[in-house]
A and B are shown apart, each in its own frame.
Chain A
Amino acid sequence: MLNQRLKTLDPILIFSMIGLLAIGLVALYSSSQSLVQSGSATNYFWSQIRWILIGFGALFLIAFFPNRLLYELSYILYGIALFLLVLVLIWGTEGYGAIRWLRFGGFGFQPSEFAKIATLLAVARYLSEEHRDINRLKTFLGASAFLVAPFLLIAKQPDLGTALVFIVMSLPVLFWAGLRWENLVLILAPGLTLFASFNHVTFSLVMVLILVYLFYVKPPMLQRVAYFILNVAIGLLTPFLWNQLKDYQKQRITTFWNPEADPLGSGYQIIQSKVAIGSGGFLGKGFMEGSQTQLRFLPEQHTDFIFAVIGEEFGFLGILLGLILFTVFLVRIVQMANTYRSRFSGIFAIGAGSIIGFHMFINAGMTIGLFPVTGLPLPFVSYGGSALLTNMSIVGILLNFYRHRFEY
């Protein structure tokens, strides 16, 4: 009976996930050794195993949930998520210089993690309702509102990395919901304007391009004018606002993009991470043999820089294994989204894949200095209960949908 039920779950998704969890445990075991020997800190390895067991409980529970229940509860869950995000701003406790945690007794909880799932469910439901057409401005603004609310609340904490996740997942979600290519371009254009606005020539060029494009796609005249004015406003306001910033604020933004300019702060972390990964070479220094890891030159090695532990001790091969597992995992999610008959399920799957893929890409890229240090953990690999529970719950939802993939 149980066996029959388990067979309805997708093995590719589950086993690629288990592979990533295993990589994470190996790295955590190695990283915890030096801490255990000094007798000071918690053993991340055993703590993570506890979280994984809890995660699997949640995964199976959700996977065998009544299918329609998630759809029905989505707005309520979204409401709860917003409520908790407000709550955390009032009563939250601090960690890493930002207020992210809600504590109930000894139990800590990050509402922003829960908000990812809830928001995704709500947007998916909103866009899959019958009368919605994402290519109409009204629907677009409605869907955007679902995303902007948690974005602002999380950015206020401040947790810019997590907040960005809500912006990043919006495009794939809207796209999968049927956004036309020309509208996608219109959504992306203001971002281009922002970067072009610091130089008169590039700014003028972008404005001309937008004008040409507007005549080419021919939206209603009023919208066309409003859109153009919006872009001009962005272009004019950005340099003005930039100059309003204090020097240290500007510096904070520039080091965000160029961490090597700050060798003692976030630059130190990236340099040590690159040294760890680079010195690992092709085969790595061996399990528990990495000097950067064991002597703790590598900072934040159980969370942000756990991939560097793999890179140092298992080399390029270990990295490749991790990337292959991620690729299989992500490809499988897209395949699933493509399979689901239900529009709601499909949109959710694409959003979930985007969230996990974005985390993976940013985190892995960060360890070799391709991206700034944002504090985004590596899904399934980094230590951390809230993120693990969220990601495994997402997998649970995907598996739930998969069991009902032929239902509308």
Chain B
Amino acid sequence: MINLLRFRQGDPRRLLFYGLIALGVAVLIGGFYNVQILQRDIYLDKSEQNSVKKETQVPARGLIYDRNGQLIADNRPSFSLYLVPAQTTPQTIAALSDLLELDESQIKKNFRRARRFQAVKVARYVEPEVLTILQENKLNLPGLEWRVEPKRNYLFHRSFAHVLGTLGEIGEEELIENPEYEPGDLVGKKGVEQALDKDLRGVKGYQFVKVNAMGRKIEPIPGKSAPPNPGKDLYLAIDARLQLFADSLFQDRRGTLIAIDVRSGEIITLLSKPDYDLDLFTEAVNPQVWSELMADSLKPLFDRSTQGLYPPGSTYKMIAAIAALNEGIVTPQWSVYCPGYFRIGQRVVRCWSGGGHGEMSMISAIRNSCNVYFYQLGLKIGIEHWTKYSTLFQFGKKTGVELLTEKAGLVPSKSYYDRVFGPGGWTKGLLANVAIGQGELLVTPLQMAQFAMILANRGVFYKPHLCHKLVDKISGAETPLTYPAQKLEDVKPEVFEIVLEGMRQVVAGGTGWRAAVWGISGGGKTGTAQNPHGTSHAWYIGFAPFENPEIAVAVLFENGGSGGGVSAPIAGEYLRKYFHYQGKFDYTQYRQHVQRQEQKQREQARLDSLRAAGAIAPGDSAAFPGED
């Protein structure tokens, strides 16, 4: 420093300039001190937010197996296409939208919302052949990128549609309900994919990367990333062999078949037909396909097993029987003479057997599904008891199965009738009607299968469920999905025995004889439910074996006709297959038995024709089981 003092003399006005310099510098020092020292942490945070971006890595969704370990749904690597706005030329967009039939204006709209170097997803699940074409032309398509992302792959296209359900991008309402999800996530939309989404989806991985001001990736930041955690594998209670077998029985018919393991509540088969090809939903659903599915009069998207509400018809007669016996309203010996019709006030209702069943007691009324008996019984029990036992046997409420679209059905009560028809505005005729499972009563087929389980177990039941266990892919830890046994304590064991004897006889020569397994006894009940949509719905519920039951089934054919003629044979075929897989049923011996039966029938027919010709004396007849 030469000497600041040498210039001491001179113009005093210089002091003003020194003052101005000092003031200016002081203001600046104060300003920088404030920003750099006092507010440093705020700005340090902001600078990190600027340059550090979180990248999400999608975990592989849990695989789905059947109860025997048969793979049903897995994931395949698929390619998603992205465009980086900063590098994309209009030619790229035009070529892509041409090749993939994308909406050009939609891409441009998405571009406007994105940062210049942030890749925008334009297509999911691109076919490998298409990707090959794109890769070959990479140089002519600036801005195009592709990433591998897992895609759901189904080993069976149909049959499992209503059990598995679909995946789709999360909706806004779902986001509000589940704040842990993020926009753009793929979530289960129906079926077990929806109900067990949180287990199946896994935990997303994160990688933190340094980006520059234009959003271009510079480098990953070590130590801060977490790899994705794959979702848990799900083992269904469903037996894929039986599910496929049931499907083969249905062919083109509309309806549903449900089978429950009565010892656990596990659903072995849950089939609703028609169904749809799950592959249609693995990609963004083509709007045309969607509208076709929606407009389809057969309603393939509609799960008949839990969403369908039907009158149960005669399969519901056991409720009236149990109510009457358990409440002591009638004894098992109480009998009614069935002339083939019954008069309620001005109305005459007919029994399904035009000629009448004759003298009917409880067991024979169940065996023959006599409407006249149950009309009279219905009038005797009264609405309160009927409603009580309907509710006791879990009707009118959801079973809680892993199908969230499940309906609860409707069990009318006194207050329901008072509400609908006005107090006193309804007659006893309604009661006679609901006692035979008609009228306002509505049930789901799953509720009927559950009903069969409760009866088979003499009052013990489990929540029907589709899932068997979850397996953690990394630790191998298994989570069994079991539910505690529940018991209907109020119903006396002897009441069950009487009703079950009726059901045993239904299969053993009664209306449900076609559902017999042969060699294994069972119980069941047919139903032919009248409905306003045309031909009656054909019902069958049943279980087997009669002692130590294993399985309960419910079969429904929409507008299928007679329960005993249409549904019972399907139930029989299904049950035989089930016991065949259990090693308790031999098809060869069964076929020999059937052949013997047929031979007998032919012999009978021959005798009949001879008798008609007067060659044989009358009275020498073979009894044929009746039909409902």
Contacts and interface: CB of A to CB of B under 8 A. Distances in A.
Interface of A: 10-12, 34, 172, 175-176, 272, 274-282, 291-292, 295-297, 311, 315-316, 319-320, 323, 326-327, 330-331, 334-335, 337-339, 350, 353, 357, 361, 364-365, 368, 370
Interface centre among A11, A275, A296 (most CB of B within 10 A): A275
A275 B48 CA distance: 10
A330 B23 CA distance: 13
Contacts of A11: 2
A343 B448 CA distance: 112
Given A277-B36, A282-B37, A334-B18, A364 B28 contact: yes
Q: Interface residue tally of chain B, by bracket? A: 35 or more
B33 A316 contact: yes
A175 B28 contact: no
A99 B25 CA distance: 33
Interface string B29-65: 1011111110110111011101100000000000000
B2 A12 contact: yes
A24 to B, nearest CB: 17
A19 B86 CA distance: 41
20 contacts: A11-B2, A176-B11, A277-B36, A278-B40, A279-B43, A281-B37, A291-B50, A295-B213, A296-B213, A297-B212, A316-B32, A316-B33, A319-B32, A320-B32, A331-B21, A334-B14, A335-B4, A335-B7, A335-B14, A365-B28
B24 A297 contact: no
A276 B32 CA distance: 12
A365 B27 contact: yes
Given A319-B32, A323-B28, A275 B17 contact: no
Contact of A291 (B21, B29, B37, B51): B51
A250 B35 CA distance: 30
A278 B25 CA distance: 18
B17 A368 contact: no
Contacts of B33: 316
B208 to A, nearest CB: 13
Contacts of A334: 14, 17-18, 21
B32 A281 contact: no
Contacts of A323: 25, 28-29, 32
Contact of A281 (B2, B14, B36): B36
B533 interface: no
Contact of A295 (B13, B21, B25, B51): B51
B255 to A, nearest CB: 62
Contacts of B24: 357, 361
B210 interface: yes
A172 B214 CA distance: 45
A280 B37 CA distance: 9
A279 B46 contact: yes
Nearest to A326: B25
Contacts of B29: 320, 323
Contacts of B4: 331, 335
A281 B27 contact: no
B1 interface: yes
Contacts of B155: none
A295 B36 contact: no
Nearest to B40: A281
Contacts of A172: 17
B95 interface: no
Contacts of A370: 27-28, 31
B211 interface: yes
Contacts, number: 124
B10 interface: yes
A17 to B, nearest CB: 15
Contacts of B39: 278
Given A279-B44, A353-B17, A296 B212 contact: yes
Interface centre among B21, B36, B48 (most CB of A within 10 A): B36
B226 interface: no
B3 to A, nearest CB: 10
Contacts of B16: 175
Contacts of A326: 25
B218 interface: yes
A176 B35 CA distance: 36
B117 to A, nearest CB: 12
Nearest to B50: A297
Nearest to B51: A291
Contacts of A361: 24, 28
A295 B27 contact: no
Given A275-B46, A276-B47, A291-B50, A282 B14 contact: no
Contacts of A280: 36, 40
**Top 3 closest A-B pairs, CB basis?**
A278-B43, A279-B47, A295-B212
Given A279-B40, A326-B25, A334-B17, A295 B211 contact: yes
Contact of A297 (B27, B37, B42, B51): B51
A297 B115 CA distance: 14
Given A291-B47, A330-B21, 19 more contacts: A175-B13, A176-B13, A272-B50, A274-B43, A275-B50, A277-B43, A279-B43, A291-B48, A297-B50, A311-B35, A316-B33, A319-B36, A320-B32, A323-B25, A334-B18, A334-B21, A335-B7, A368-B32, A368-B35
Nearest to B31: A368
Contacts of A296: 212-214
Contacts of A275: 43, 46-47, 50
Nearest to A296: B213
A327 B10 contact: no
Nearest to A358: B24
B14 A278 contact: no
A36 to B, nearest CB: 14
A176 B11 CA distance: 9
Contacts of B35: 274, 277-278, 311, 368
Contacts of A10: 2
A332 B330 CA distance: 121
A370 B48 CA distance: 24
A295 B14 CA distance: 45
Interface centre among A276, A316, A320, A338 (most CB of B within 10 A): A338
Contact of B14 (A274, A311, A320, A337): A337
Given A327-B25, A334-B21, A292 B14 contact: no
B27 to A, nearest CB: 7
B50 to A, nearest CB: 5
Contacts of A350: 17
A139 to B, nearest CB: 18
A338 B14 contact: yes
Nearest to A316: B36
A364 B1 CA distance: 26
Nearest to B11: A338
Interface string B478-502: 0000000000000000000000000
Nearest to A370: B31
A10 B7 CA distance: 14
Nearest to A337: B14
Contacts of B44: 278-279, 281
A335 B9 CA distance: 10
Contacts of B20: 357
B1 A12 contact: yes
B28 A295 contact: no
Contacts of A320: 29, 32
B36 A278 contact: yes
A320 B36 CA distance: 11
A177 B29 CA distance: 31
A158 B1 CA distance: 42
Interface in B223-242: none
A84 to B, nearest CB: 31
A291 B48 CA distance: 8
Contacts of A353: 17
Contacts of A316: 32-33, 36-37
B457 to A, nearest CB: 68
B50 A292 contact: yes
